[in-house]
Chains A and B, each alone.
Chain A
Amino acid sequence: MGALGFILNAAEGERSWRLAEYVRRGGYSALKKIINEKIPADQIVGELKKSSLRGRGGAGFPTGLKWSFMPRQFPGAKYVVCNSDEGEPGTFKDRDILRWNPHMVIEGMIIAGYAMGCQRGYNYIHGEIWDIYKRFEEALEEARAAKLLGNNILGADFSFELQAHHGYGAYICGEETALLESIEGKKGQPRFKPPFPASFGLYGKPTTINNTETFASVPYIINEGGDKFLELGKPNNGGTKLFSVSGHVNRPGNFEVPMGTPFKDLLEMAGGMRGGRKLKAVIPGGSSAPVLPVDVIMECTLDYDSIAKAGSMLGSGAVIVMDETTCMVKALERLSYFYFEESCGQCTPCREGTGWLYRVVHRIEHGEGRPEDLDLLNSVTDNIMGRTICALGDAASMPVKSFIKHFGTEFEYHIQNKKCLVPEDVQRAGSGFFKAA
């Protein structure tokens, strides 16, 4: 791991997740600063706005702006919720933050509670990372014992309770309103908006939901100032960012780099292409982000604006690297199956459309494609996108659209020749699970 970065890169060393270690690294100093200097809430939100911190869960919404939506004078309960329901294929950063540096998230959430006048928070943790859920619970116990959570934190007139809540692995529960439903004990299904959680959230009360990495960025901004955070990255894209690199690279893993780092640098950090093969395509922001072919991605820097300009999304920073041995039809089939299985079934276009998309891609992959299928896929995705309550419909559609756009010839080859443009043995060789023939 490189030197720059404060979330994962700073959390090296033995038992880095312990409270004592975190404090040794300067942890909870931001909270102490706020309490001791009685920093007003407006100033905290102002620093966040200055920092250009954008939501790390995928949508990239400016965090300071989101916090300012919370009704300050609202009487009664208000909530802060952390979304650690990391379910997007390719994304595995939040689990590492919680694994190595859970107190940074806790500190960020306490500050959020302070800034927005909330007295209770929840961290909703993906159901399939049980060990991390347990570690987070331990961290909470440590924080409670140290009076960093509970009544009159650090002697101030400010109380904040934080609870961990684990899901059961449904992708849809990562959608913030489905997540709220799930915490409430209901079936995880997104709510229609408006009303937005800032006015009608958990148990109908004003609620702010941020990603794990977003909360983890907060202490740094308080300690060092919003300007310094912004300087780490590039204008409108402040800070460092975790990228989960997976696929055909030599050293897959999480990499914390400044926003605006060139993609080719990240690829290098990940050890370059496996077996020295040629890069074919990259999904830059998690499986729902449109795929970019090699020539486009190699010109990109890793920040919200550059990737958006290239026609995709930085998303959660999950970089899926595919080399020349990849069959794009098979890759899309796998992605489509995921969204088909994970649709909550609430709205018509997604419930019916994701299955349809999967079945058409499936038949192309299995040599039963028809000439009209690519038009059909495009038309079905048009009918799903923007027509559903949440973004899962779009998430299911964007891979289909982008795979066809950039690798249409491969799909056409499949349909015409009932087999793959990339020979079977080459695919096997590239998969890493089989020895080359």
Chain B
Amino acid sequence: MLEIEIDGRKTEVADGSTVMDAAHKLGIFVPHFCYHKKLSIAANCRMCLVQVEKAPKPLPACATPVTNGMKVFTHSEAAVKAQKGVMEFLLINHPLDCPICDQGGECQLQDLSVGYGQSASRYQEEKRVVVNKNLGPLIATDMTRCIHCTRCVRFTQEIAGWMELGQAFRGEHAEIMPFIEKTVDSELSGNVIDLCPVGALTSKPFRFAARTWELSRRKSISPHDGLGANLIVQVKHDKVLRVLPLENEDVNECWLSDKDRYSYEALDSEQRLTKPMLKQCGEWREVDWQTALEFIGTDLKRVVREHGAASVGALASPHATLEELYLLQKFMRGAGSENVDCRLRLTDFSLDGKKVTSWLGMPVAEIQKLDRVLVVGSFLRKDHPLLAQRLRQAAKKSTHVNLLHVADDDQLIALHAKSIVAPSVLATELAGIVKAVAEAKGAPADAALAGVQPSAAVKQIAESLASGEKGAIFLGNFAQQHAQAATLHALAQKLAELTGARFGYLGEAANSVGGYLAHAVPNAAGLNASRMLAEPRKAYFVLHAEPELDCADPQQAMAALKGADLVVVMTPFKTRAIDYAHVILPIAPFTETSGTFINTEGRVQSFNAVVKPLGETRPAWKVLRVLGNLLGLAGFEQDSSEAVRAEVLGGKPSSVAERLNNRADGVAINLADVAPALQRIADVPIHFADPLARRAPSLQRTRDAAPPKARMSAATLAKLGISAGMQVKVSTTETRAGTSLGGTAIIAAQLDEGVPDGCVRVAAGHESTAGLGPMQGAITVERA
């Protein structure tokens, strides 16, 4: 420990601390621009110059290491003179166009100039003008305002993992710019807006929409990926105008993914449904809530009477709140049906009944403390942008991050080892790791793994895992959706046992864990999502989901829904439900209702509505409560979402931890390789993953939202006699349980050497590929 005195106050800091660290510890503010606690030190703005006893010159607090007995003065005459001198330099070429600058009112330069600037400038010369840059649909530029702090440059390099911005040219001509003709395409790009201390980088969608002081700031939770990033939703006149991160070191740190940040644009879109709709005599008409709900009550009773309660099923999105999911299952079970599920993209449910509540298996904040990691079956960077970011930081230190997956996308993580294989052999490959580790550890061999021959790549992964002390095995979205998900689970669990590593799931959606805790999954008597559609029901309730895009097999889902007597769809949007539903109820998106998401680490995060429901929209928990009352069901007296939450969690959120469980015993390992001639790999691209993101216009203009293509290796292309760029007809022709699950889509072929031979990668979740059947299994490709 080192002793330091700043402005007459003494403290002790750890060796290697800077004067800035010590000042923070003492709560002393040192003005700064380029310094940011999450970024490397640049020491280029010189605003944090302070006076250090015995130093001949003022020193930058951010870059000066503390020495024992150091005496620092941050507000002495010499320090303030230096700070004021720097401020004058910063302002001479700054346009001082605050009245027309979007950053006005939340600008660090503006704020600090009040304290350190002069009221008039001594600089009478012409000011510098810098040409603006096109950074894509999310970030607006006004580069003349740039003060060259390089925070944005360091962010892309260090946090996003890919240097998309740099400072070109010298001296006064220095400019921050992307590579020529390139935009900033990172899925974390919006963070540079928060980092920019001036109005050089601002939000394109938010541009000129409001002044910061006109906005109310309300806390919320991101409804997208399994992390549950903490949000500050900024509101004016009951409209969400902007979303910023709420700092939470344990969850999202100070970052947001672009999806978290910009999906709000969908909230106020033309596509919002604002009135209940009822289809009568083949005609859609807007009705009042009373009419709609009474219709549902009457018709549901009829279906139950005529076909039995088991003929009713409920499909919910894992992006729905805990309260919504809980009341939905309560309603279903009250009506006598056990058929309720929120795991719409899953295909292997054989873990059901083993009391698995799949979760991360550890706190998010401890990811950086791991020394060995294996991620299995995950489009990591796009499925979990901020968890991937944590792994990226860990890999930079000394953590081995290993990947076993079906597509060689650049994760922008310095991977220790990777193995990219076809989906049909993913489990065998994982079994190879288990076998190699078992051999290394001298553990008895599992009979099921007898025929497995570990490949060179997995041996490297096995060596890495076997040599660690704090490891973790994570199953990603692809592994969860895999037809051999239970086998993957059993193997990962085995591997964790052998290596002493933790074992967990990278939760697919904001409330994947919440779905289990709310019992929005079937018990032994009920049907899971897949069976509910494979064995069509007479009546369906759909909550927040778009089955045509969100189900493992959209064609099967459409067939089942179109054949039903009663389909009730609860959604905030005008979806394709118009084609198959009988009643569509406008329910509140996350900003218009209170609720709770339980993130992948089991963190219970409740939030309030930040705006009033749009039009006649109602929070879904209220709708479900009233439906319960209409059916005369018991236990539907809750008068707040908090009351519902208390019912689910037993009044104490801490009980959640006891219910999280990844351990499943006695799971059969099935390594049968049933590889079809050509197999499909379906990712769910980041901005197609949920109804909100799909309708956010700016996100839909990003590179990540480019329409899906049929991606294949050169060998696969050659084998099929197709060349890249050609329009192709892709078809899924699997027949299961007598129902043809065929479907086709016409898209462009694309060369992608990251796709294993014999595989075709066609993304799901997009209108253009919704015509296809199952997300995995056989696929054919021919010239269109």
Residue ID in chain B nearest A187 by CB atoms: B167
Q: Is A25 an interface residue when CB atoms closer than 8 A count as contact?
A: no
Stretch at the interface among B54-62, B248-256, B556-564: B54-62
With A and B bound together, what is the CA distance between A390 and B396 in angstroms? 29
Stretch at the interface among B39-47, B100-108, B398-406, B626-634: B39-47
Residue ID in chain B nearest A354 by CB atoms: B171
Stretch at the interface among B85-93, B512-520, B776-784: B85-93
A371-395 CB contacts (< 8 Å) to partner B:
376, 379, 382-383, 386-389
Indicate if the CB atoms of B122 and A376 lie closer than 8 Å.
yes
Q: A343-B170, A345-B148, A356-B123 are in contact. Are A389 and B89 (CB under 8 A)?
A: no
Indicate if the CB atoms of A386 and B170 lie closer than 8 Å.
no
Indicate if the CB atoms of A343 and B86 lie closer than 8 Å.
no
What is the distance, in angstroms, from B303's C-beta to the closest C-beta of chain A? 69
The residue from B42, B58, B92, B170 contacting A344, defined by CB atoms under 8 A apart: B170
The residue from B46, B49, B92, B172 contacting A343, defined by CB atoms under 8 A apart: B172
What is the distance, in angstroms, from B39's C-beta to the closest C-beta of chain A? 14
Interface centre among A345, A348, A388 (most CB of B within 10 A): A348
The residue from B45, B57, B58 contacting A347, defined by CB atoms under 8 A apart: B45
What is the distance, in angstroms, from B348's C-beta to the closest C-beta of chain A? 48
Indicate if the CB atoms of B41 and A192 lie closer than 8 Å.
yes
Indicate if the CB atoms of B44 and A349 lie closer than 8 Å.
no
**B residues within 8 A CB of A172?**
170
With A and B bound together, what is the CA distance between A341 and B65 in angstroms? 32
Q: Is A181 an interface residue when CB atoms closer than 8 A count as contact?
A: no
Q: Is A359 an interface residue when CB atoms closer than 8 A count as contact?
A: yes
Residue ID in chain B nearest A363 by CB atoms: B125
Indicate if the CB atoms of A382 and B85 lie closer than 8 Å.
yes
With A and B bound together, what is the CA distance between A348 and B43 in angstroms? 10
Indicate if the CB atoms of B171 and A345 lie closer than 8 Å.
yes
With A and B bound together, what is the CA distance between A409 and B438 in angstroms? 88
What is the distance, in angstroms, from A405's C-beta to the closest C-beta of chain B? 20
The residue from B41, B65, B86, B172 contacting A387, defined by CB atoms under 8 A apart: B86
What is the distance, in angstroms, from B386's C-beta to the closest C-beta of chain A? 28
Indicate if the CB atoms of B171 and A386 lie closer than 8 Å.
no
Residue ID in chain B nearest A379 by CB atoms: B122
Q: Is A231 an interface residue when CB atoms closer than 8 A count as contact?
A: no
Indicate if the CB atoms of A387 and B58 lie closer than 8 Å.
yes
Indicate if the CB atoms of B86 and A348 lie closer than 8 Å.
yes
Indicate if the CB atoms of A386 and B44 lie closer than 8 Å.
no
Total chain A interface residues with beta-carbon distance under 8 A? 31
Q: How many contacts A-B (CB < 8 Å)? A: 93
What is the distance, in angstroms, from B445's C-beta to the closest C-beta of chain A? 41
What is the distance, in angstroms, from B589's C-beta to the closest C-beta of chain A? 44
**A residues within 8 A CB of B65?**
194
What is the distance, in angstroms, from B157's C-beta to the closest C-beta of chain A? 11
Q: How large, as a class, is the contact surface on chain B?
A: 35 or more
What is the distance, in angstroms, from B725's C-beta to the closest C-beta of chain A? 35
Indicate if the CB atoms of B172 and A340 lie closer than 8 Å.
yes
Residue ID in chain A nearest B56 by CB atoms: A386
Q: Is B488 an interface residue when CB atoms closer than 8 A count as contact?
A: no
With A and B bound together, what is the CA distance between A352 and B171 in angstroms? 8
Q: Is A346 an interface residue when CB atoms closer than 8 A count as contact?
A: yes
**B residues within 8 A CB of A348?**
44-47, 86, 89-90, 147-148
Indicate if the CB atoms of B58 and A342 lie closer than 8 Å.
no
Indicate if the CB atoms of A349 and B167 lie closer than 8 Å.
no
Q: Is A108 an interface residue when CB atoms closer than 8 A count as contact?
A: no
With A and B bound together, what is the CA distance between A341 and B169 in angstroms? 10
Q: Is A272 an interface residue when CB atoms closer than 8 A count as contact?
A: no
With A and B bound together, what is the CA distance between A357 and B88 in angstroms? 14
Indicate if the CB atoms of A343 and B57 lie closer than 8 Å.
no
Indicate if the CB atoms of B85 and A345 lie closer than 8 Å.
no
Residue ID in chain A nearest B89 by CB atoms: A352
**B residues within 8 A CB of A376?**
122
Q: Is A56 an interface residue when CB atoms closer than 8 A count as contact?
A: no
Q: Is A353 an interface residue when CB atoms closer than 8 A count as contact?
A: yes
Interface string of B262-273 (1 = CB under 8 A from A): 000000000000
Indicate if the CB atoms of B169 and A345 lie closer than 8 Å.
yes
**B residues within 8 A CB of A281?**
none
**B residues within 8 A CB of A293?**
none
A265-299 CB contacts (< 8 Å) to partner B:
none
**A residues within 8 A CB of B167?**
187, 345
What is the distance, in angstroms, from A66's C-beta to the closest C-beta of chain B? 20
Q: Is B19 an interface residue when CB atoms closer than 8 A count as contact?
A: no
With A and B bound together, what is the CA distance between A341 and B171 in angstroms? 6
Interface string of B115-156 (1 = CB under 8 A from A): 000000011010000000000000000000001100000000
Q: Is A262 an interface residue when CB atoms closer than 8 A count as contact?
A: no
Indicate if the CB atoms of A343 and B85 lie closer than 8 Å.
no
With A and B bound together, what is the CA distance between A341 and B56 in angstroms? 28
A205-220 CB contacts (< 8 Å) to partner B:
none
**B residues within 8 A CB of A386?**
56-58
**A residues within 8 A CB of B47?**
348
The residue from A345, A349, A354, A356 contacting B125, defined by CB atoms under 8 A apart: A356
The residue from A194, A345, A379 contacting B170, defined by CB atoms under 8 A apart: A345
Interface string of B661-672 (1 = CB under 8 A from A): 000000000000
Interface string of B47-89 (1 = CB under 8 A from A): 1010000001110100101000000000000000010011011
Q: Is B173 an interface residue when CB atoms closer than 8 A count as contact?
A: yes
Residue ID in chain B nearest A386 by CB atoms: B57
Indicate if the CB atoms of B57 and A352 lie closer than 8 Å.
no
Indicate if the CB atoms of B63 and A344 lie closer than 8 Å.
no
A151-170 CB contacts (< 8 Å) to partner B:
170
**A residues within 8 A CB of B46?**
347-349, 387-388
* Known A341-B170, A345-B171; further 10 A-B contacts with Cβ < 8 A: A172-B170, A342-B171, A343-B171, A347-B43, A348-B90, A349-B85, A352-B89, A354-B172, A356-B125, A382-B85
5 nearest A-B pairs in the assembled complex, by CB-CB distance? A345-B174, A383-B85, A386-B57, A343-B171, A352-B89
Q: Can you offer 17 A-B residue contacts whose CB atoms are under 8 A?
A: A187-B167, A192-B41, A340-B172, A345-B169, A345-B170, A346-B174, A347-B46, A349-B46, A351-B89, A351-B148, A352-B90, A359-B125, A383-B88, A386-B57, A387-B58, A388-B46, A389-B43
